[in-house]
Amino acid sequence: MDKIGDDEVEKADERDPEIGAKSARAGFVTASVLLVLLSIYEIIETGEFPPALGVLGASQAVYWLLYLYYGKSPEKL
């Protein structure tokens, strides 16, 4: 005899990686937008290259390199 709610728990467990990936993507986009805004503000105020722009560039480079690497061969995941 099945326990009540077993199906719901199993379905929730199957969605956890997808929910985590969407949450991580939202956080990454938010951080990127904030770093761009901070960089623009610092360029206007000081006229110098802000460190936040370097962090943004590095994080974008890592993201897109991994996206291309894993996108071409899903079995590498």
- What CA–CA distance (Å, rounded) separates 38 from 33? 9
**Does some domain include residue 1?**
no
pLDDT of residue 38: 92
> CA-CA distances (angstroms) from residue 69 to 43, 47, 64?
33, 36, 8
pLDDT of residue 47: 92
End-to-end CA distance of the chain: 37
* pLDDT averages per 10-residue partition of the chain, 77 residues: 56 76 89 93 93 90 88 59
- Owning domain of residue 48: 6-76
Tally of domains in the chain: 1
**Does some domain include residue 64?**
yes
pTM above 0.85, yes or no: no
> CA-CA distances (angstroms) from residue 73 to 51, 61, 65, 67, 68?
34, 19, 13, 10, 9
pLDDT of residue 19: 83
